Amino acid sequence: MNVEEASIIPSDAKSWSLCVRRIWYDKFPPKNTEIKIEPFDQLIIEKGLEHEKNILAKLSQNRSVKTAESTEHTQLLMDEGIDVIYQAQFYDEDSGLVGNPDFLIKHESGKYQPADAKLARSAEDKKEIKVQLGIYRRLLGTDLPGLVYLGNGKTEEIDDNAYPIVDKFLTEMGNILGRNKPPVVRYSHSKCKICPYFSICQPEFIQKDELTLIHGIDSRSAPHLEDKGIKNIQRLSECDTVSIPDVPYLKNFEKKQRAVLQAKSWLTGEVFKLNDIDLPEGTWIHFDIEDNPLEPSGQKHVYLWGLLKPDYDNSSFEFSWTDSMAEDHQGWEGFLGLIEKYKFYYSDLIIAHYSNHEITTIKQYVERYDMHDHPIVEWLLGEETPLYDMQKPVIQNLVLPLLGYGLKDICKHENLVNFQWENEDSGSQWSIVQFNRFQQEKEVEMRKELKEAILSYNRDDVLATRKLEEWLRKL
C-alpha cells in the first residue's frame, strides 16, 4: 500500500465535504462495481489542470521555478531558496498526513507559503479549499497565509481561521478510516443524484423507507421526527398533520401537511392538488439558457439563449448563439433583439422559464454591460415583467411522486407530463461538455454536429416547459 492509500490526503476534503460515505467509498472502493468518471467531472479535471498550468506560466515569468520530485527534493529546493517550487511534496510520519500543494512561493520574509490553483470563483464557502490550504500551512509550519489562485483571476488568502474546519476534517477522517463498513448517511437530492456511488446507496434508502427521500424532509429534521416515533415514510404518511410536533425546519402547518402528502404521493404515485393553478393568460414564449461556468475568464458565458414561440413546434425554436466569450455582448444583444420582436408582435407576452436561473442571469448581464436604462431591460425587470417562473405554481400547488421538483423530474415521469428528450443522456452538464468540445474542435463538420446537438437539447428544454404548461392547464 502506498503512502497516499494509507494516509489522509488534503484532496480527500472534496468528497468529505459532500458526504462521509462518499469519502469512505473513495478509500475503500466497493467490490464488483465499476465507478466511471463522468464526462463533466473529467472536464473539471482537465480545466483545473489547464488553470494550474496557466498560473505556473505566470509565476515563471519573473521568478525561478523548479519542480519537486520527492519530499526530500522539496526540502532541498527550499534550502536553495528557489522562488517557486512546483508540485511540492510533504509527508508527516507522526500524523500520517500527506500534502501536495500546487506551489510553494517564497515570501519576501524568506519563508514559504503554500498556494493552489482552483477553478472556484471564491474560497469563502468552499470547505475543501480551506481544509487543503490549512493542512499545507500546518505541514509547512508557517504563519503566512495560504494563497488560492481562483478561476476568475483573483487571489484569496487562507489564514488561521481555517484551522477549526481542518481539525474537524482530520478528526472525522480518522473515524471514517477506522470503520470496517460505510457510515450511515441520509439522502440528499442535490448531492446524491450526482454521486458516483448513488446506485449503491439508493436501494438501501428505499429498503429503509428513509424519511429524507421525501421532498421537504432533510437531515436537519428527520432525526427529530424519528425521536417522536415517525421513523419512516410509511409512518409519516399515516400521520394526522396536526399531530406532528414542531421540529427544526418543519414547524408550520403547511410544511407538515405537504410532508404528509409527499409521503403518501411517494408510496402511491398519487398527485395531490393543494390549490387551483392560475396560470397567466397571454401569448407564451418559453425560454431557457445554456451557460458555461468553466469559461476561462471566470465570468459566466451564456452561449445559448433559446426561445420557443407559437406554434410551439420544432420550427418555432429561435435562439441567440455565440461561439466564445469574445461574442458574449453580441449574444446578449441578440437575445434582447428577439424579446423586442416578440413584444412588438404580441401585446400580451408571457416569457416562461423554469426556476430562477434565467432571471438571475439576466440581472447579471444587465450589471455586466451596464444596461439598466435599456427599454427592454426595464420592461423585463420592472413591476409589469413578462417573465414567469413555472416552478412556482408547481411547488405552491402540487405534491408529486418525485424525489425532486426539477424540470426533467416532472416532465420525464410517464404518469405526469411524459415528455422525453430526444437525447436521453442530455442535460445541463452534458451541454457544458459538448460546448467545450465545440470550442476545442477544429474540424468544421464536427463543430456543426456539436452545435446542432446542443441546439436540439435546448429546443427540447423549451418544448418541455410548453408541455408542462399544457399539463398544468389540464389539472
Lowest mean pLDDT segment, chosen from 27-41, 238-252, 409-423: 27-41
Output the pLDDT for position 36.
85
Counting every residue written for the chain, the total comes to 475
Q: What percent of the chain has pLDDT over 90?
A: 95
Whether 340 and 224 map to the same domain: the answer is no
- The pLDDT tens digits for 107-134 are 999 999 999 999 999 999 999 999 999 9
Is residue 439 in some structural domain?
yes
Residue 82's Cβ-count burial label (10 Å; 0-12, 13-18, 19+) is: buried
The domain boundary residue, chosen from 240, 270, 300: 270
Please say if the pLDDT value at position 7 is more than 80. no
Output the pLDDT for position 325.
98
Whether 223 and 340 map to the same domain: the answer is no
Q: What is the CATH number of the domain that holds 346?
A: 3.30.420
Is residue 432 in some structural domain?
yes
| Residue 27 binned pLDDT confidence (cut-offs 50, 70, 90) | very high
Please say if the pLDDT value at position 418 is more than 70. yes
**Cα gap 89→25, rounded to integer Å:** 25
| Residue 32 binned pLDDT confidence (cut-offs 50, 70, 90) | confident
**For residue 63, what is the DSSP state?**
S
C-alpha cell at 379: 420592461
Host domain of residue 229: 209-270
The domain boundary residue, chosen from 270, 299, 314: 270
Mean pLDDT of 45-58: 96
**For residue 247, what is the DSSP state?**
B
Mean pLDDT of 240-251: 94
- The pLDDT tens digits for 132-154 are 999 999 999 999 999 999 999 99
- The pLDDT tens digits for 427-461 are 999 999 999 999 999 999 999 999 999 999 999 99
Count the domains in the chain: 3
What's the Cα-to-Cα distance from 177 to each of 23, 291, 436, rounded to whole Å?
A: 9, 39, 37
- The pLDDT tens digits for 155-212 are 999 999 999 999 999 999 999 999 999 999 999 999 999 999 999 999 999 999 999 9
| Residue 78 binned pLDDT confidence (cut-offs 50, 70, 90) | very high
What's the Cα-to-Cα distance from 49 to each of 9, 64, 119, 318, 414, rounded to whole Å?
A: 19, 21, 9, 36, 42
Is residue 4 in some structural domain?
no
| Residue 282 binned pLDDT confidence (cut-offs 50, 70, 90) | very high
pTM of the model: 0.92
**Cα gap 64→75, rounded to integer Å:** 16
209: preceding bond cis by omega (within 30 degrees)? no
Whether 259 and 312 map to the same domain: the answer is no
Closest CA to 138 of 102, 114, 173, 171: 114
Instruction: Determine contact, residues 275/396, Cβ cutoff 8 Å.
Output: yes
Please say if the pLDDT value at position 215 is more than 90. yes
Q: What is the 3-state secondary structure (H, E, C) of 198-223?
A: HHHHHHHHHHHCCHHHCCCCCCCCHH
Whether 258 and 293 map to the same domain: the answer is no
Mean pLDDT of 81-101: 93
Whether 251 and 298 map to the same domain: the answer is no
| Residue 73 binned pLDDT confidence (cut-offs 50, 70, 90) | very high
- b/e burial code for range 327-347 (CB count within 10 A of at least 16 → b): ebeebbebbbebbeebbeebe
Q: What is the CATH number of the domain that holds 216?
A: 1.10.150.20
The domain boundary residue, chosen from 270, 302, 320: 270
Is residue 228 in some structural domain?
yes
Whether 389 and 437 map to the same domain: the answer is yes
Mean pLDDT of 269-297: 96
Output the pLDDT for position 1.
37
Whether 247 and 295 map to the same domain: the answer is no
Selected residue with higher pLDDT from 296 and 102: 102
Whether 128 and 220 map to the same domain: the answer is no
Please say if the pLDDT value at position 2 is more than 60. no
Is residue 11 in some structural domain?
no
Closest CA to 176 of 12, 365, 3: 12
Q: How many CB atoms lie within 10 A of CB 97?
A: 18
Whether 343 and 390 map to the same domain: the answer is yes
Lowest mean pLDDT segment, chosen from 4-13, 97-106, 126-135, 442-451: 4-13
Is residue 468 in some structural domain?
yes
**Cα gap 451→434, rounded to integer Å:** 8
In three-state secondary structure terms, 99 is strand
Output the pLDDT for position 298.
86
- The pLDDT tens digits for 343-396 are 999 999 999 999 999 999 999 999 999 999 999 999 999 999 999 999 999 999
Whether 299 and 235 map to the same domain: the answer is no
Whether 129 and 70 map to the same domain: the answer is yes
Q: Which helix (H) or strand (E) covers residue 467, if one does?
A: helix 444-474
Residues forming a β-bridge with 250: 247
Whether 98 and 232 map to the same domain: the answer is no
**Cα gap 205→221, rounded to integer Å:** 17
Starting at the edge strand that comes first in sequence, how are the strands of the sheet with 112-117 ordered? 65-67, 84-86, 103-106, 112-117, 146-149, 155-158
Mean pLDDT of 2-15: 75
Output the pLDDT for position 196.
94
Is residue 19 in some structural domain?
no
Q: Cell 416532472 maps to which residue?
A: 410
Instruction: Concatenate the DSSP letters of all residues of 132-161 into one string.
Output: HHHHHHHHHT--SPEEEE-TTS-EEEE-GG
When the pLDDT of each residue in the chain is averaged and rounded to a whole number, the result is 95
Please say if the pLDDT value at position 3 is more than 50. no
Closest CA to 205 of 191, 225, 185, 221: 185
Is residue 3 in some structural domain?
no
